[in-house]
Structure 1
Amino acid sequence: MMEDKVITAVRDFVSSINSGSKVAADMSALIGVTSQLPLTSFDYWERLIRSEFSVALRESTPPKWKIWSRPHELLTWLDLISWDGYKREKTLRTLSGAAPNTFFFSLAVRRLNDWVPQVRGAAREKLPEIAKATDPQYVVEALCIALSNWSLWGRIEEKDKEVILQIICEEEIAESFRSRLILSSSGPMPSLFSQLGRTPILDGKIEEIARLAIQPSVRAKAYRSLFEGRVTWIEGWKWEWTDIRYCKGRLKPIISDRKLEIQTPLLDLLKRSSEDRSSIVRRVSAEILIRELESLGTIARELAEQFSSDRSHLVSERGKFAIRKLEESERVNSS
């Protein structure tokens, strides 16, 4: 089981810390096993490793001579998740160089949501430096997960988010994100598109994403952004009472947006999106047609009839609705 491999790697790592045969602790097994962990279950693995690391340290008794030969405390990447906030802060300020894999860079990123303000401050200062030294692939993979979840992080502040956005805007990182949006066939890419829209790195590339992205939902998101001239994202969540007498309510998303500086002719967008191979995209196109019926002139009926005969029921219903609206408008104008 993967859990057993993780526990063994953590214990071997602790043993190497107390070994007098090495100048530095041996992380090779730990790096190997954490490189295989699914990041979608990151909370679970972080808790498991923290617990096992803490237990292993308590159970480990270094040789007496070790106390004299190494008077200074050895801080490691795993101390980023220590129970001790002072140690987490000190580790962030002490570590230098590249994160060894995506998992460990994610540990550093998650300190921006740490429950100790001083740790968040240290993460703000050190994360750009760590990111610059780390393999861009590790950085992008870690930030993909962070961006998909940070609306649920309760302690992250705007100044913390700005650190991540600053890293995203580095050209090599930005290009990797753009390629991922187009080439990824799975994963939360629509959510990632929205969060990346906070920055200008997609501006000028959204039409390309709308045409070429493998995931239909990403193409639909890109087309909608072009139609509306803005990118929207979920900033966070707030509680809304639906029936306070019975203590019933729900979480409501807080939506933010950023205007796009690019403009594409509406008719060009409608024609391209109406011919997309996915009904998800064609449905967006049909919605915009209904919204823009009065401004499109004779082409509106042509598009409405095209949608009304679409093989997707949701698209054809919108096309038929557009035809009814056009007929109502013609009757009013002729009377």
Structure 2
Amino acid sequence: MSKALSPLLLTAIERYAAAREAKADLAKPIADFIAATENQSPASIADADGAIASAAGLWSWSQKLSWFDRNVLGKRSDRDLLDEVPGLPFLFLFHKNGFLRQAALERISGPIPNAFLVAALAWRRNDWVHQVRSSAKACMDRCLPFTSPDVLSVFFLETAGRRSTWRRWSDAERQSMDALVARPEAVAEIVAQLLRQRNGPLPSWLRSLLQYEWIDPHLKLLAVEAKISGVRAVALQTLAYGYARSTDGSGERFWIDKPMGISGWRPRVWQRALTIHSDRSEAIRSGLRDRSTAVRKVALEAIIDHASHDTDLIALAGSFLNDRSTSIRSKAAFIVERMKQAH
């Protein structure tokens, strides 16, 4: 069993393969396949791509069918089936034959059913075949304006970090797709999920979203009302420091000991100025009132790094000298002691 696919999706694909081998009706297996992709994480698309092709027998080569094969034996080629079986183009997005991937993309229209299949279109925009990438762009331009904001928000959140590691598309191509996905109603749903969800790597998702300026107007709300403390901490840190800081999935080599030729690898970090006005003092005060230790810790770190001369904030920091958290107490003590030494 492929670990890249959910048991439900793998079973649906195997039923398709069995029906294809038996020359049976494919409508029900394909409908089951599309339904099963609903519960497959869009973040798994890179691993799921080959696993789906293998399980479904979607090989790059195909046998040419003779008149006898078609009219007497009733055999059908994959290309024949594309125009005969509703929904089959969604499965053929994973075909090993680039011509069939392109043909599948050209036949898809209307709203995309779920986030995993949106991820499949995005993955094809990163295809190694230029013509497939072009067809994927046209398909997304045609379909995503009609796709549900709920579907787009799940895709965007769960793949924000992963998509930055896909290297075949240019920055302009990636940005054009991001703009197509992140229309206002989809952005509203993304923010709503960050506010209300209680599970998943939400802080990491928010850090990935910091590369987009459209998240800036929502940071104050996220810093106060997000259910997950990690989301509040990321939003607060961004507001308190006055800039968005994240990684884009790329890395850089650095020297640990140059004379000895010892080097390491670390994520490349970038930052940008916020597009909104951020009152640093107000943000820090809000963080100090938070019920979460993680958020209060970020607020105290912001005082250490950027507000060391704000006597009002330093006085507030002093109220945490007896906090139950060792980390909070130590940061508060550092702030107070540094203030004493300054005078």
Cα deviation digits, residues 1-30 of structure 1 (max 9, x gap): 8766434422443536996868x6752211
The match for 2:298 among 260, 281, 284 is 284
1:309 and 2:312 equivalent?
A: no
Sort the Cα spacing of 1:147 and 1:294 in 2 relative to 1 into closer, same or farther, 3 A.
closer
1:296 and 2:299 equivalent?
A: no
Match in the other structure for 2:150: 137
Task: Using the TM superposition, give the Cα deviation of residue 99 of structure 1 relative to its aligned residue in structure 2, in angstroms.
Answer: 2.1
Alignment of 1:143-292 (within 5 A): 143-241=156-254, 242=256, 249-292=263-306
**8 A contact 1:185–1:215 mirrored in 2:** yes
Whole-angstrom distance in 1 between the partners of 2:313 and 2:8 = 62
Amino acid at match of 1:268: E
Sort the Cα spacing of 1:68 and 1:322 in 2 relative to 1 into closer, same or farther, 3 A.
closer
1:64 and 2:76 equivalent?
A: no
Whole-angstrom distance in 1 between the partners of 2:260 and 2:106 = 49
Most deviating of 209-218 and 238-247: 238-247
Match in the other structure for 2:121: 108
Match in the other structure for 1:121: 134
Match in the other structure for 2:55: 52
Cα deviation digits, residues 146-175 of structure 1 (max 9, x gap): 212123323332123213321243111111
Sort the Cα spacing of 1:246 and 1:326 in 2 relative to 1 into closer, same or farther, 3 A.
closer
**8 A contact 2:45–2:120 mirrored in 1:** no
**Unmatched segments (≥5 aa) in structure 2:** 83-87
Sort the Cα spacing of 1:292 and 1:9 in 2 relative to 1 into closer, same or farther, 3 A.
closer
Whole-angstrom distance in 1 between the partners of 2:47 and 2:338 = 53
* Secondary structure class of the residue paired with 1:27: helix
What TM-score, normalized by structure 2, do the two folds share? Answer: 0.82
Task: Using the TM superposition, give the Cα deviation of residue 69 of structure 1 relative to its aligned residue in structure 2, in angstroms.
Answer: 12
Sort the Cα spacing of 1:192 and 1:8 in 2 relative to 1 into closer, same or farther, 3 A.
closer
Whole-angstrom distance in 2 between the partners of 1:253 and 1:71 = 44
Whole-angstrom distance in 2 between the partners of 1:131 and 1:17 = 34
Identity across matched positions, percent: 22
**8 A contact 1:169–1:199 mirrored in 2:** no
The match for 2:331 among 314, 318, 321 is 318
Whole-angstrom distance in 1 between the partners of 2:215 and 2:277 = 14
Task: Using the TM superposition, give the Cα deviation of residue 286 of structure 1 relative to its aligned residue in structure 2, in angstroms.
Answer: 0.6
* Secondary structure class of the residue paired with 1:187: coil
Sort the Cα spacing of 1:244 and 1:151 in 2 relative to 1 into closer, same or farther, 3 A.
farther
Cα deviation digits, residues 191-231 of structure 1 (max 9, x gap): 32233333332232211110001111111111111112222
Whole-angstrom distance in 2 between the partners of 1:286 and 1:68 = 68
**8 A contact 2:125–2:169 mirrored in 1:** yes
Task: Using the TM superposition, give the Cα deviation of residue 328 of structure 1 relative to its aligned residue in structure 2, in angstroms.
Answer: 0.7
Sort the Cα spacing of 1:40 and 1:276 in 2 relative to 1 into closer, same or farther, 3 A.
same
Count of residues in Structure 1 that have an aligned counterpart in Structure 2: 327
**8 A contact 1:229–1:262 mirrored in 2:** no
Task: Using the TM superposition, give the Cα deviation of residue 319 of structure 1 relative to its aligned residue in structure 2, in angstroms.
Answer: 0.8
Task: Using the TM superposition, give the Cα deviation of residue 329 of structure 1 relative to its aligned residue in structure 2, in angstroms.
Answer: 0.7
Larger relative CO (CA 8 A, sep 6+): 1 or 2? 2
**8 A contact 2:69–2:75 mirrored in 1:** yes
What TM-score, normalized by structure 1, do the two folds share? Answer: 0.84
**8 A contact 1:39–1:103 mirrored in 2:** yes
The match for 1:94 among 79, 87, 107 is 107
**Unmatched segments (≥5 aa) in structure 1:** 331-335
* Secondary structure class of the residue paired with 1:302: helix
